[in-house]
Amino acid sequence: MSLWKKILGQTDLSPEELAKREKEQAEKKKRKEEEAKRFQEEQDRKREARRIEKERRKAEELKSMERFFGPSPGMGKKITYSAHKEVFQYVERHLLREDEQVLGVIQAEYDKTKKREIKGLLFAAEEKMIFAFVRGNNQYIEEFEYSKMKGISLARDGFASKELFIDYGRGRKKFDDIIDDDTFKSFLSAVNGKIAEYRIKPVQKAKTKPSAKAASSEQGEDKYKQLERIAELKEKGILTEEEFQAEKKKILN
């Protein structure tokens, strides 16, 4: 076809051939539109799936944060969780029972030895205290039983920080670089409470049933031992006067 005919829109095709060409062009256009529609629908599905997954992860993180910090955690605690997310997730998945309560969390540096200091998190859980540092394959975990803790003492560490010393077994554990705020005070109260709880628990008796006379004698001796224990705790400042009187009343009754 000459250039002039193209310009004038003239062709050498018959009306049937022109109709066929128009039909093919219309079908081709329709296929392109359908492909574009399918592509857009697929993109929308992927976008929606990503949104749902993001919401799911956000809900899981909020649930995890609330387990460690209580309901409606503030911005500071959310920042702490985000900065140490790997540690929180490891502790929750591997070190806590499914229903184990967390009583407090603080950032601290554990002075494992004079030459080895590890920055991580201290968790006051329901059954134990945990120090954890996790970064990829580099991990350090240590658990401390409340029953082996004999006492706690504090020292100033700079202007607004504290050093925490725990008499543990025959040794002493040292943690420093701890911000002296309400979070730390709450953590300290929880740990002191667990130490007191474990120290005033009555000694477990043998499973064999003693005679009535022996049982009465053992109960009397056990009461005196418990009274001595709570008196010691009061002298050391672990129990307040109100807590001492309450425990005393329980023992005597």
pLDDT digits (tens, 9 = 90+) for 53-108: 999 988 998 999 999 998 888 898 999 999 999 999 999 999 999 889 999 999 99
How far apart are the C-alpha atoms of 8 and 246, rounded to whole Å? 107
* pLDDT mean over 156-169: 90
| Residue 142 confidence (pLDDT) | 95
The pair of structure tokens assigned to 70 is 């209580």
Domains of the chain: 56-194 (2.30.29.30), 200-253 (no CATH)
Average pLDDT over residues 208-237: 64
Q: In this predicted model, what pLDDT tens digit does every residue of 83-94 receive, in sequence order?
A: 999 999 999 999
Nearest to 76 by CA among 120, 100, 107, 119: 107
Q: Is 177 in contact with 161 (CB distance < 8 Å)?
A: yes
pLDDT tens profile 14-43: 888 888 888 999 999 999 999 999 999 999
What one-character DSSP code corresponds to residue 11?
A: -
Which residue shows structure tokens 């134990």? 128
pLDDT of the residue at 39: 94
Backbone φ/ψ region at 239: left (φ over 0), alpha (ψ -120 to 50), beta: beta
Q: Give the DSSP H/E element, type plus range, for residue 113.
A: none
Token pair, residue 62, equals 């909020």
Report yes or no: 176 and 187 within 8 Å, Cβ to Cβ: no
Please say if the pLDDT value at position 206 is more than 50: no
Phi, psi of 240, deg, nearest 5: -80, 170
Average pLDDT over residues 183-209: 76
CB of 192 closer than 8 Å to CB of 124: no
Q: What is the pTM of this model?
A: 0.63
SS3 112: coil
Per-residue pLDDT reduced to its tens digit, 168-182: 988 999 999 999 999
